[in-house]
Structure formats: C-alpha cells, structure tokens
Structure 1
Amino acid sequence: MSASAPAPTASSTASNHTQETTEARAAFTASLTSVGTNLDADMRLRAQALHDNSAAINKQEEKLKKTTNELAKQSKELEKLADQGREGLKEVGDLQNWAELIERDLLVVEESLRLAEEEDERCGRVGRKGGSKLRRWF
C-alpha cells in the first residue's frame, strides 16, 4: 500500500477557508484602494486646475469689466461727436437754404433791372424825355 496524504480535518478546512477569506478581503480592499487612489489623484488634479483657472478667470473678468467701462465712455464721446456733426450738417443745410433764397432774390432783382433797362432803352429810342426810370428809382 501506498502512503496517502492525511485527510483534511474540519479545523484545517475552516482555517484554510478563513485564510482564503482574509486574503480575498485584503486583495479586494487593495484593489478598491488602488482604484480610489487613481480616481482621487485625477479628481485632485482637476480640482487644482479649477482652482488655478478660477484665479485666471477672475483676472480676465476684471480686465473685461475695465475694458467694457472704457468702451462705454468712448461710445458716449463718439455719440456726442456724432451729434455735433449732425448739428453742423443741419447748420450747413440751413446756410445753404438761406444762400439759395438770397440767390433767388438776387435773380429776381437782376431780372427786374434787366426789364427796367429794356423799358428805359425802348422809351429812350422813342424820344421820351425825363431820364431813366431806373435813375428815378434810386
């Protein structure tokens, strides 16, 4: 007969089972810790990036506010300049209108003088005495 391995006893089976459970629990805990550490490191990097970017965004926001205020001031100045330009153009239009009225009046006076001179010449050829009507008007 051959020698055979001793048959496992109930206590050695229970001891093996407890050891396997302990090892499995340790492996599972190590696995969770590893996953948690990896996720935690990633989350910490993201949180740090958010914190760093927050400071940069705040600086940009302040610069944007300042630039917007300067732009608003410049816009008001340009609006004032445009209003002055419109007033100037209105005055030029009024001046042009006045000049056209004066020109029209001068044309009427010129035409009246021309007609008066023609009348005077016509009367002068006929032999009418008494001088020019034009001279009597002035």
Structure 2
Amino acid sequence: MIEVEDCAEGVIKYRSGVVTAFHTINYYSYDAPVTIELHCENGLAKMVADRGVVSLKDGREFVADNNPNETFDYGNGAKGYWGVSHVKQINNFYESLNDHSQLHITGEEAMKTQKMICAIYESGKKKERIYL
C-alpha cells in the first residue's frame, strides 16, 4: 500500500496572467480509469485512460489514441494506469544515448514541473502563496 493524498485543489497564476484552477480526487467507489479534463478558453482537452481528445470551440477535434505497438505489460493483470508515457521516455533516453540527440523532455523542463509541485505542497503546509 502506498499512502497518497485523496484529493487536492489549488490555483496557479502564471506570470503571463493566465490563471489555472485544479481539483483532483482518487477515491472512487469503483475502478475508474484515470481521467484528466482541461477546460480552456478555446475548447476542452480530455484524457480518459490512454485516449486523449482535444475539442475546439470552432468544431475541430484532435484525437490521440492508444498505439498497440506502444504497450507495457505490468504483469499479473495489473492495469496500466499511466498509459505508455514512461515507456516512451525510457525509449527516448536510450535513443538519445545511441544517437547523441536531445531528450524530448530535458532535465531542465522536468524541473519546472517538479518545482511547481513542490510549491503547491509548500503553499498547503504554510497556508500562503508561493512565488516561483
């Protein structure tokens, strides 16, 4: 068993003035697929399990679906909750070692997300705004 938060919510205001509000939960009464919804100014981006759909207000829709060639078997019938993103990153790492190319997600880019997550935790503990 891994102890994790049951829910989290917050507001992030970017230097550009864009405001993002989020609410997350993981205490479903059934085995629900991972779902992420982003309600944006010009449309909606939604991911359910391994399928992502971006629906724009002008009627255009873009779909990214699970590629059967990019699967990872966790064994013992375990669900692949997080899709194949880790497999893609690991493969990209080895490819970059072989051909000396840049990673799709560099350490510098990953640190931006990590700093934001740490600031969200710090804000909750201190009950005050954190500026990055």
| TM-score for both structures, normalised by structure 2 | 0.20
The structure having more radius of gyration, on CA atoms, is: 1
Structure 1 or 2: more strand by fraction: 2
Structure 1 or 2: more helix by fraction: 1
| TM-score for both structures, normalised by structure 1 | 0.19
